[in-house]
């Protein structure tokens, strides 16, 4: 979710899912140490509970970055060893670290020693054509012994060569059963399932077998599904809020940021999918995407986009 789940996206997603735990986009530990921390780490209190997702492979560097994140107020520090992109591999972090469980364990041990907040790991099942469950379990055990109690498992392999990041989210087959099994065999660990969970039925089917689910691109491309999943998990039987009301709740943040000199496009880009599949959804996207690049664009553009949709779409 690099370049996607920035602070504006997270404020919007918090309105959709008040009780979910939100994660930042992945930030390299070196950037935390040497970059613009306000830009990289700044967040609104309303976003919490919030996890800072780090990339890297140097234990001491990750420990320092984790300490900084905890000092900034993050509720959890997450180490990503599941991203398969070429750029990430070139830096020796992300999914290629699944081949180096001892190094991941060293990183986790250094991070857990540096902070009092939980340190979690986001991983895949393995890399390339690995199809044996035992090395996956050994990886989990090794990292757990180093102090990690929470694993977010993207239930696919990561192909390090030959597939794009997009294909890596779609081509390798899902093996939810591996996540279910590791939870049965290691009940003291918190196992959160990720990958392909884009419908309420899939969430409802898998949630009883694990401790939680993580929703990524489905929440971004079709944000209303995040609200539906929030209600399914945390408020079953309670009525859904309609899209118009959810979007208007975003207005105070938008106007505050506009007053601070932030262009509308940096906020409005995160709501483009809110009406996906709904009457007027295409017009909603067109009005926003064609208008939010104007320097003077403000909240009135979002109101014009809302007006292009069918009013009161409450329960869809």
Query: Which residue, among 5, 58, 51, 6, has the nearest Cα to 29 in the 3D structure?
Result: 58
Q: Give whole-number Cα distances, 281 to 188, 255, 276, 284, 308, in Å.
A: 44, 23, 5, 5, 8
Q: What is the DSSP letter of 84?
A: -
Q: Which member of 9, 61, 83, 96 is catalytic? A: 83
Residues facing 222 on adjacent strands: none
Whole-angstrom distance, CA of residue 25 vs CA of residue 7: 9
Angle at 236 between CA 235 and CA 237, to 5 degrees: 110
E strand or H helix that includes residue 27:
strand 27-28
Query: Which residue, among 147, 58, 66, has the nearest Cα to 100 in the 3D structure?
Result: 58
For residues 72 and 97, is the Cβ–Cβ distance under 8 A? no
Backbone angles phi, psi at 117, to 5 degrees: -80, 160
Whole-angstrom distance, CA of residue 26 vs CA of residue 44: 18
- Size (the chain), residues: 316
Q: Where are the alpha helices (DSSP H) in the chain?
A: 7-16, 29-34, 37-41, 59-72, 86-90, 101-114, 133-145, 165-168, 176-185, 200-206, 217-221, 223-234, 243-248, 251-259, 265-268, 281-291, 299-307
Instruction: Give catalytic status of residue 83 as yes or no.
Output: yes
Backbone angles phi, psi at 3, to 5 degrees: 75, 5
Instruction: Just list the catalytic residues.
Output: 83
């Amino acid at each position: 979710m690099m370049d996607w789940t920035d602070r504006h996206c997270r404020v919007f997603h918090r309105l959709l899912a008040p009780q979910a735990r939100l994660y930042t986009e992945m930030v390299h530990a070196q950037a935390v140490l040497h970059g613009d921390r306000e830009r990289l780490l700044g967040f609104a209190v309303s976003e919490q509970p919030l996890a800072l997702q780090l990339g890297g492979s140097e234990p001491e560097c990750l420990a320092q970055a984790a300490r900084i994140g905890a000092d900034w107020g993050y509720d959890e520090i997450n180490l990503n060893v599941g991203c398969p992109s070429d750029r990430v591999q070139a830096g020796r972090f992300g999914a290629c670290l699944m081949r180096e469980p001892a190094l991941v364990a060293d990183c986790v041990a250094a991070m857990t020693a540096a902070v009092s907040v939980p340190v979690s790991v986001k991983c895949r099942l393995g890399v390339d054509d690995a199809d044996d469950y035992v090395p996956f379990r050994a990886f989990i055990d090794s990292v757990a012994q180093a102090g990690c109690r929470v694993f977010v498992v993207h239930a696919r392999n990561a192909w390090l060569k030959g597939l794009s990041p997009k294909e890596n989210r779609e081509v390798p087959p899902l093996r939810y059963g591996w996540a279910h099994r590791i939870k049965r065999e290691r009940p003291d660990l918190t196992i959160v399932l990720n990958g392909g969970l884009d419908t309420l039925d899939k969430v409802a089917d898998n949630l009883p077998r694990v401790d939680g689910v993580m929703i990524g691109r489905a929440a971004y491309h079709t944000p209303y599904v995040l609200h539906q999943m929030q209600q399914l998990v945390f408020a079953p039987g309670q009525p859904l809020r309609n899209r118009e009301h959810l979007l208007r709740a975003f207005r105070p943040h938008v106007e505050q940021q506009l007053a601070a000199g932030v262009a509308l496009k940096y906020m409005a880009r995160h709501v483009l999918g809110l009406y996906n599949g709904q009457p007027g959804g295409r017009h909603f996207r067109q009005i926003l995407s064609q208008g939010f690049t104007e320097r003077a664009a403000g909240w009135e553009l979002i109101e014009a986009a809302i007006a292009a949709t069918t009013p009161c779409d409450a329960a869809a």
